Amino acid sequence: DDEEERILGPEELPEHACAYCGIHNPSCVVRCNFPSCKKWFCNSRGNTSGSHIVNHLVRAKHKEVCLHHDSPLGETILECYNCTCRNVFVLGFIPAKTESVVVLLCRDPCANSSALKDMNWDLTQWQPLIDDRSFLGWLVKVPSEQEQLRARQISAQQINKLEELWKSNPEATLEDLNQPGADDEPQPVMLRYEDAYSYQNIYGPLVNLEAEYDKKMKESQTQENVTIRWDQGLNKKRIAWFTPNSGQELRLVPGDELCLRHSGDATHKTWECVGHVIRIQNEEVAMELRSNANCPTDLIHGYSVDFVWKSTSFDRMQVAMRTFAMNDKAMTSYLYHKLLGHEIADQVLKIKPPKKISPPGLPDLNESQKHSVKSVLQKPLSLIQGPPGTGKTVTSAAIVYHLVQQGQGQVLVCAPSNVAVDQLTEKIHQTGLKVVRLCAKSREAVSSPVEFLTLHHQVRHLDTPKLAELHKIQQLKDEQGELSAKDEKRYRALKRAGEYEILKAAQVICCTCVGGGDPRLSKFKFRQVLIDEATQATEPECLIPVVLGAKQLILVGDHCQLGPVIMCKKAARAGLSQSLFERLVMLEKPFSIKPIRLQVQYRMHPCLSEWPSNTFYEGTLQNGIAMAERATTNLKFPWPVVEKPMFFYNCVGYEEISASGTSYLNRAEATMCETIVTSFLKTGVNPNQIGVITPYEGQRSYVISWMRRNGSLRSELYDDIEVASVDSFQGREKDFIILSCVRSNEHQGIGFLNDPRRLNVALTRARYGLVVLGNPKVLSKQPLWNNLLCHFKANCCLVEGPLNNLKQSMVQFQKPRKYFPELYQRYNLPPSLLEQ
């Protein structure tokens, strides 16, 4: 059950791959026979004037070669038939005069031997083995154009450098040429890549940097002197509840592996056990232990908790990139070239367009949703942009429904986050398709809204004759806790077989992008892949589900909202934080792909969607809901303009560095936030309808504790209000949102708030009403915020004073500073913003 995941061996090129370009067709390669070399090379020229094998022989001054054993002549050292001279530069073929026979002879002296003239050989027809700087094509085949395009592109300069490197290090590879030194900035990402090898050369080091950072950060979270509250799960496994020591920000998520230790005392031996986080509730962490054996449940104090870092997700990204480069079955060559940004003729898939677009079990789609479903089905690669509240998930589910109807095998559906995968799984299930949700083994004990669709649930509860024996042995395991070695082996085999059967019977398999690399999927091939929230996945992460044989790929996301979260600044600066979706949009024509945009939003009161639509979506966002459906007129909340449930509150406070020293807080905004929350609660709004968003962790924890201590209502009411970062609110909504901007200083700028995408996300979470708390004087220096403030002012919604007596604010805006136009151009912001 707890068997360690075995990372599948990374995709490797066979030994006989060309040491320059990686081509490994046995008919196209020869081995250099120099004793200390023995490297393989192909007979293609790439963009040099000699074939790779000839390039090598000349530059290294090696002269002997051997054919591959799977080539037509078999494993053969090329040598003179008569004198066994092996210098390929003097060898050539002569045909017989009458028979169709050829023989390899050195030109001097053998082929010029007078004795030969009288025999049946035609000396006049001697053909050198190497002609025009490449081997005779009928002896060593020239790889096809297709093969050459799929290979590593190597220039004469690189060949030259590599040959130099081999003189000191014969094991060196082309990758070693590009390795940055330990202190160097990594190579930044590009828009287009010559081949998947150079792609891997850029992204491989970036993934390593992020992995190192992640490891360091997670392993530094050791907790000493922890008190445990013991509990037991329904599966009879021990659960240890503990509250991490305060003052230390712990970054834990369900599924993380921990190690719980106790050094023992007079009556207890030293003990330790690993387990997984299964829940986090009110800052308390629940850890399910892997084994109940010798668990000292009578001890509660003095434990230590270590974080066990796993490289699994990073390993899977590296494997995916290698597969991308080396396995030509990883995806169609169309997708291969398209993802690298190559020019390639458009392709249309021959499919019958469905008569009815809206699938069963889901609400009818609107016109823009229908349009995107229709156009996606015929294209091998498409992007769907779903602005906030436009029904991205329903549209994705509809696409998956029609992909299945095409009968091209199982469809793989992924998203970077578990939450998104669960949501989509549920919608796909509603269309009546047979869907299986594959969870990481470490998350099997984490509760999920689609539990009944998960593989681990089905393998336990599906009642089929094949699973009967597994269920029996599972029962035994549950009762006894452990199995004999023999039974355990049998149990694992049965479980694997059961899982395979269930996966095979599914029409759709849903998992996270990283889950696409699960060994349980290694026998599967997926022609059609849909990735939701694709703009929040890094490129290597996105690649994991794609290299399982994709022919048709659909990326759904919104590059005008936040991208993937990268912890390592070096890696983020080099571009790891840019998604594949975004790169495909940013490519210059004709390589770029225009996303199909969903255009009707069903979330926000029309007055709340107006500015984001104009600013981020060229005004194309239409409202699918009427003002009446979002009316708050019966609410006795003091909106400055009754029919416009929004305002910007001029809050003149000061930002302070938070206790951790790494974040900011703003007391004035926290105080105002509590006043507004209390007012909402008093008018009858439920705590779970309200969300407080702030970009800073310091302000987040300050607002929570301030409301708890100073709120005029019962403190439990405030505890139920979600206070979170902008980033963690992405993809979600609340009826009422209070945004606390925090930054208020004369000279330091506004940090996080600079990112237009973060502003877009922050402003588009509310369904009914929005309050922004900030310092207009400071924020207005930035053109985008300046524009937003003008919008509030024009709508008479820029206010100040006590909440029960709000007045129009007459605050003067500052002239915006010059800003980075390229950042705006990336998000297609209107030119008016660039000129300011």
Partner 1 sequence: DDTVEIKPKASEYMACPEDDEFTKQYEQMLSEDREQRKTDTAPRPLMNMSIPMNLIRQTKAPSSTSPPPPPQEGNEEVAFKVLLKAKGKQKAIDLPIPQDSKLASQHLKIKSKQAQYQE
Contact positions with partner 1 (CB under 8 A) in 98-157: 98-104, 106-110, 113, 115-116, 119-122, 125, 127, 130-131, 133, 136-139, 145-146, 148-149, 151, 153, 155-157
Q: Which two tokens stand for residue 462?
A: 């599906």
Positions in 620-639 near partner 1 (CB under 8 A): none
Sheet architecture: strand order including 29-32: 40-42, 29-32, 65-67
Nearer to Zn ion, 103 or 300 (CB): 103
Binding mask 157-186 for partner 1 (x = CB under 8 A): x-xx--------------------------
Pairing of strands 734-740, 690-693: parallel
Positions in 303-332 near partner 1 (CB under 8 A): 332
Q: Is 291 in the site for partner 1 (CB under 8 A)?
A: no
Q: Which of Zn ion, partner 1, none does residue 654 bind to, with CB < 5 to 8 Å depending on kind?
A: none
Among 69, 70, 73, 493, binds partner 1 (CB under 8 A): 73
Positions in 197-216 near partner 1 (CB under 8 A): none
Nearer to partner 1, 186 or 380 (CB): 380
Positions in 254-283 near partner 1 (CB under 8 A): none
Binding mask 453-472 for partner 1 (x = CB under 8 A): --------------------
Binding mask 539-568 for partner 1 (x = CB under 8 A): ------------x-----------------
DSSP category for residue 575: I
Q: Residue 624: which of 263, 363, 802, 811 has the closest Cα?
A: 363
Run of H or E including 401: helix 392-405
Positions in 495-524 near partner 1 (CB under 8 A): none
Q: Which of partner 1, Zn ion, none does residue 148 bind to, with CB < 5 to 8 Å depending on kind?
A: partner 1
Cα 450 to Cα 628: distance, rounded to the nearest angstrom: 34
Q: Is 90 in the site for partner 1 (CB under 8 A)?
A: yes
Binding mask 48-87 for Zn ion (x = CB under 5 A): ----x-------x-x-----------------x-xx-x--
> Candidates 90-98, 393-401, 433-441, 729-737 — which segment interacts with partner 1 by CB under 8 A?
90-98
- Residue 531 β-bridge partners: 414, 555
Binding mask 8-47 for Zn ion (x = CB under 5 A): ----------x-xx-x--------x-x--x----x-----
CB of 585 to partner 1, least distance (A): 22
- Residue 769 β-bridge partners: 736
Run of H or E including 773: strand 766-774
Amino acid at 741: C
Number of CB atoms found within 10 A of residue 777's CB: 16
In sequence order, what are the residues at sequence separation of 6 or more whose Cβ sits closer than 8 angstroms to the Cβ of residue 57? 32, 63, 65, 88, 89
CB of 22 to partner 1, least distance (A): 12
Q: Is 106 in the site for Zn ion (CB under 5 A)?
A: yes
Nearer to partner 1, 24 or 630 (CB): 24
Q: Residue 481: which of 241, 296, 303, 294 has the closest Cα?
A: 294
Q: Is 25 in the site for partner 1 (CB under 8 A)?
A: no
Counting residues that bind partner 1 (by CB under 8 A) gives 79
CB of 41 to partner 1, least distance (A): 14
> Candidates 34-42, 58-66, 221-229, 790-798 — which segment interacts with partner 1 by CB under 8 A?
58-66
- Residue 297 β-bridge partners: none
Report, in angstroms and rounded to the nearest whole number, the Rg of the chain calculated over CA atoms. Answer: 32
| Cβ proximity of 685 and 732 under 8 Å | no
> Candidates 7-15, 73-81, 168-176, 228-236 — which segment interacts with partner 1 by CB under 8 A?
73-81
Q: Which two tokens stand for residue 594?
A: 């225009």
Run of H or E including 226: strand 223-226
Question: Collapsing DSSP states into helix, strand and coil, what is residue 346?
Answer: coil
What is the distance of C-alpha 250 from the center of its chain? 23
Nearer to Zn ion, 81 or 602 (CB): 81
Q: Which of partner 1, Zn ion, none does residue 20 bind to, with CB < 5 to 8 Å depending on kind?
A: Zn ion
> Candidates 72-80, 517-525, 554-562, 810-818 — which segment interacts with partner 1 by CB under 8 A?
72-80
Where would I find the beta strands (DSSP E) of 416-507? 435-437
φ/ψ of 834, rounded to 5, equals -75, -30
Nearer to partner 1, 61 or 818 (CB): 61
Q: Which of partner 1, Zn ion, none does residue 18 bind to, with CB < 5 to 8 Å depending on kind?
A: Zn ion
Among 43, 44, 418, 678, binds partner 1 (CB under 8 A): 44
Counting residues that bind Zn ion (by CB under 5 A) gives 17
Question: 478-503 burial, b for 16+ CB within 10 Å, e for fewer?
Answer: eeeeebeeeeeeebeebbeebbeebb
Q: Which two tokens stand for residue 365?
A: 């789609």
Nearer to Zn ion, 37 or 351 (CB): 37
Question: Collapsing DSSP states into helix, strand and coil, what is residue 156?
Answer: helix
Cα 495 to Cα 518: distance, rounded to the nearest angstrom: 15
CB of 588 to partner 1, least distance (A): 16
Cα 58 to Cα 713: distance, rounded to the nearest angstrom: 85
Cα 815 to Cα 85: distance, rounded to the nearest angstrom: 83
Nearer to Zn ion, 43 or 775 (CB): 43
Distances (CA, A) of 461 to 245, 457, 468: 40, 6, 10
| Cβ proximity of 111 and 105 under 8 Å | yes
What is the distance of C-alpha 667 from the center of its chain? 37
Q: Is 61 in the site for partner 1 (CB under 8 A)?
A: yes
Q: Which of Zn ion, partner 1, none does residue 796 bind to, with CB < 5 to 8 Å depending on kind?
A: none
Q: Residue 588: which of 206, 62, 192, 132 has the closest Cα?
A: 192
What is the distance of C-alpha 70 from the center of its chain? 40
φ/ψ of 308, rounded to 5, equals -100, 110
Nearer to partner 1, 98 or 294 (CB): 98
Positions in 331-390 near partner 1 (CB under 8 A): 332-334, 337, 342-345, 347, 349-350
Among 95, 359, 575, 606, binds partner 1 (CB under 8 A): 95
For the chain, the maximum distance between any two Cα atoms, rounded to a whole number of angstroms, is 119
> Candidates 59-67, 471-479, 501-509, 740-748 — which segment interacts with partner 1 by CB under 8 A?
59-67
Could you list the residues that contact Zn ion (CB under 5 A)? 18, 20-21, 23, 32, 34, 37, 42, 52, 60, 62, 80, 82-83, 85, 106, 110
